[in-house]
Amino acid sequence: AKRDGAAQYDAVIIGAGFSGMYQLHLLRDRLGLNARVIERGDGVGGTWYWNRYPGARCDSESHSYSYYFSDELLKEWEWSERYPQQPEIVRYLNFVADKLDLKRDIQFDTTVTGAVYDEKANLWRVSTDDGETVSAKYLITAVGCLSSANVPDIPGRDTFKGKWYHTGQWPHEGVDFTGKRVGQIGTGSTGIQAVPVIAETAKHLTVFQRTANYSIPAQNHPLSAEFKAWAKENIDEIRQTMRASTNGHPFLINERKVFDVSAEERRKIYEKAWEVGGLRFRASFNDLLLDKAANDTAADFLKSKIGEIVKDPETAKNLAAIDHPFATKRPPIDTGYFEAYNRDNVSLVNLRDTPIVEITENGVKTTDGEYELDIIVFATGFDAMTGSLLKLGIVGRDGVTLNKAWEAGPRTYLGIQAAGFPNMFTITGPGSPSVLCNMPVAIEQHVEWVADCIETMEKDGIDRIEPTEEAVTGWVDHVNEVANATLLPQAGHSWYLGANVPGKPRVFMPYAGGMARFRGICDEVAEKGYEGFVLSRDKADSQA
Ligand code: NA7
């Protein structure tokens, strides 16, 4: 994958998922800059390139899980189901990459091993595992939020004689579960999607649950010809709704409050929302994430559904033993998850009662005994939002590493820049609303804002942009303040807080103020001449 040509670029972009692809398109095709994408995988797709586990599907509705910057792309592509499956998303991203002729500027199969800011030259020097070093004025990280696999360091893991896989590093050739005794650790969004699919072919599937979780049926279905036509005829309207909504979805959160309606009416609303399915359930009332008593009504409804679906009382009890408010962890969306426990070949182990002691050569040993397994599936999530960034070997001004600067937790201004790292932009970085949002909507906003910023810099002969310490502190405080106004920080073990990775600082990372509000703040910052940032020129230039 080694390429010839100039080793100096205007911009180096790390990652070829939704973010990196669009960033390349804007910098190269709109601004006329010389940009290079460096990508670890051998194809485009980012998160979706790696997450090939059974049942992998997006929880955003497909007609909204697309780039909206081009009507032409929207009209040419056709999604097949209400929620896109992983292979279809990878096909979509390849379609876009080919259509925009992006691949010629993407260096595949290449891992960034370091990115060091050279202050004298005002260049980022980016080294890769193929021994090359390239430089660029701008460094844009587009590495995704859920891309650094978290494989728990359970004692004895490497003594296991069977095979083990993490869902986020799934083999491209797939895994055959036929006739196998499978153990799955983890019941987040990923685990909940994987269970029913693995259960179809495995001899037996044992699910090891540490934290019980809510789940709402996706109510997935093939899209009708009418719907497909409607989506293509109403692009502007859909775009408008996604931009106006808190979470970037193509529907708005209902204005009413939980206790505005009677208990009976509420029950009907929840029943209907359950039938509609997916993340729309959360949009039933506007105070579900603000008022614990209001949230309890949704939580109770969802727990009662588990009891109705799951036949074995003990299993139902363990599945419904949920101790965080609804939607304070990312609410999973499923297709036949709770139903899977009614199969003879699926069983649940509650790790709260009987924790894992170790992994042995034969399987998983809990305080209750040993479960013999042929395959272990780790659906144990990610070192989210910061994991992939901190693996890049980023060194800023005065030799300060990003890891040092973020020792006590990530610190950004608008999620997009860190103090001491001039001209480095972090797409969907910590402090951005991305993970609480329909991701492509957040990505388009970030990428366009960065492209506009770079365009201004190039036009005005600006050499550097970097946020002030005060602006960063102000943003970190604001991120905390808006999170604390919600119930979100109450899920003590969520990856939003970094709590799923041992030793990671506990900081609420995403911006919970809503995508529409965030967009407004970013626009205002730019209009005010990039308020909170320092824009500077090299001396020689400013004298000229
Ligand atoms: P999540 O949501 O972080 O879920 C990981 C699951 O794995 C969760 O149930 C964890 O339990 C469990 N886990 C993690 N480590 C362990 C150990 N050591 N032992 C037992 N169980 C463990 O990751 P997902 O991949 O499901 O979803 C990530 C996002 O992708 C999702 O939110 C969507 O945005 C899409 P815990 O809750 O920590 O007790």
Per residue in 170-187, pLDDT (tens digit) is 999 999 999 999 999 999
From 58, 210, 216, give the residue whose CB has the most ligand 1 atoms within 8 Å, as the site to mutate: 210
pLDDT at 4: 46
- pLDDT higher than threshold 90 for residue 267: yes
Number of neighbouring beta carbons within 10 Å of residue 83 = 23
Give the Å distance between the CA of 494 and the centre of ligand 1. 8
In the sheet with 356-359, reading across from the earlier edge strand, the strands are: 356-359, 363-366, 369-372
Which of 500 and 365 is assigned the larger pLDDT?
365
For 199-214, write each residue's pLDDT tens digit: 999 999 999 999 999 9
Give the Å distance between the CA of 495 and the centre of ligand 1. 8
pLDDT at 248: 97
Q: Which amino acid is at 504?
A: K
> Does the beta carbon of 377 sit less than 6 angstroms from any atom of ligand 1?
no
Quick check: 514 and 249 in contact, CB under 8 A?
A: no
For 19-54, write each residue's pLDDT tens digit: 999 999 999 999 999 999 999 999 999 999 999 999
Distance CA 449, CA 455 (A): 10
Tell me whether residue 219 is exposed, middle or buried, using C-beta atoms within 10 angstroms of its C-beta: 0 to 12, 13 to 18, 19 or more: middle
> Does the beta carbon of 24 sit less than 6 angstroms from any atom of ligand 1?
no
Identify the weakest region by mean pLDDT among 259-273, 318-332, 454-468, 481-495.
481-495
User: How do strand 133-141 and strand 123-128 relate by DSSP bridges?
Assistant: antiparallel
> Does the beta carbon of 500 sit less than 6 angstroms from any atom of ligand 1?
yes
Q: Residue 136 has which token pair?
A: 């660029």
Least Cα distance to 44 among 104, 128, 4 occurs for 104
In the predicted model, what is the mean pLDDT of residues 390-411? 97
Measure CA of the first residue to CA of the last residue in the chain; give whole Å.
42
> Does the beta carbon of 211 sit less than 6 angstroms from any atom of ligand 1?
yes
ipTM summary value: 0.99
In the predicted model, what is the mean pLDDT of residues 528-537? 98
* pLDDT band at residue 58 using 50, 70 and 90 as cut-offs: very high
Give the Å distance between the CA of 249 and the centre of ligand 1. 23
Number of neighbouring beta carbons within 10 Å of residue 217 = 20
Tell me what the pLDDT averaged over the chain comes to. 96
pLDDT at 543: 41
> Does the beta carbon of 430 sit less than 6 angstroms from any atom of ligand 1?
no
> Does the beta carbon of 146 sit less than 6 angstroms from any atom of ligand 1?
yes
Q: Which atom of ligand 1 is nearest to the CA of 380?
A: 7
Q: Which atom of ligand 1 is nearest to the CA of 154?
A: 18
Distance CA 421, CA 396 (A): 5
Distance CA 460, CA 537 (A): 9
Q: Residue 475 has which token pair?
A: 């943003």
- pLDDT higher than threshold 70 for residue 5: no
pLDDT at 491: 87
Distance CA 202, CA 89 (A): 26
Q: Residue 149 has which token pair?
A: 């696999």
pLDDT at 334: 98
- pLDDT higher than threshold 70 for residue 329: yes
Least Cα distance to 319 among 177, 191, 213 occurs for 213
Q: Residue 84 has which token pair?
A: 């896109």
For 480-500, write each residue's pLDDT tens digit: 999 999 999 998 789 999 988
Q: Which atom of ligand 1 is nearest to the CA of 210?
A: 39
User: Taking the CA of residue 247 as centre, how many other CA atoms within 13 Å lie in the half-sphere pointing to its CB?
Assistant: 22
User: How do strand 369-372 and strand 363-366 relate by DSSP bridges?
Assistant: antiparallel
Number of neighbouring beta carbons within 10 Å of residue 419 = 22
pLDDT at 541: 52
pLDDT at 462: 98
Give the Å distance between the CA of 256 and the centre of ligand 1. 32
Distance CA 375, CA 108 (A): 31
For 200-250, write each residue's pLDDT tens digit: 999 999 999 999 999 999 999 999 999 999 999 999 999 999 999 999 999
In the predicted model, what is the mean pLDDT of residues 373-381? 98
- pLDDT higher than threshold 90 for residue 193: yes
**Atom 33 (ligand 1): residue with closest C-alpha?**
189
Q: Residue 202 has which token pair?
A: 């495995």
Q: Which atom of ligand 1 is nearest to the CA of 351?
A: 20
Q: Which atom of ligand 1 is nearest to the CA of 381?
A: 23
- Using H for helix, E for strand and C for coil, what is the string for 99-141? HCCCHHHEECCCCEEEEEEECCCCEEEEEECCCCEEEEEEEEE
Q: Which atom of ligand 1 is nearest to the CA of 192?
A: 26
For 146-167, write each residue's pLDDT tens digit: 999 999 999 999 999 999 999 9
Q: Which atom of ligand 1 is nearest to the CA of 187?
A: 9
pLDDT at 540: 56
Where in 406-537 does DSSP place strands (E)? 424-426, 464-467, 533-536
- pTM of the predicted protein model: 0.96
Backbone angles phi, psi at 7, to 5 degrees: -85, -5
Tell me whether residue 303 is exposed, middle or buried, using C-beta atoms within 10 angstroms of its C-beta: 0 to 12, 13 to 18, 19 or more: middle
Residue 26 CA: distances (Å) to CA of 429, 455, 540: 19, 10, 29
**Atom 3 (ligand 1): residue with closest C-alpha?**
381
Give the Å distance between the CA of 417 and the centre of ligand 1. 28
Backbone angles phi, psi at 378, to 5 degrees: -90, 105
Angle at 56 (CA atoms; ends 491, 18), nearest 5 degrees: 85
pLDDT at 542: 46
Give the Å distance between the CA of 340 and the centre of ligand 1. 19
> Does the beta carbon of 331 sit less than 6 angstroms from any atom of ligand 1?
no
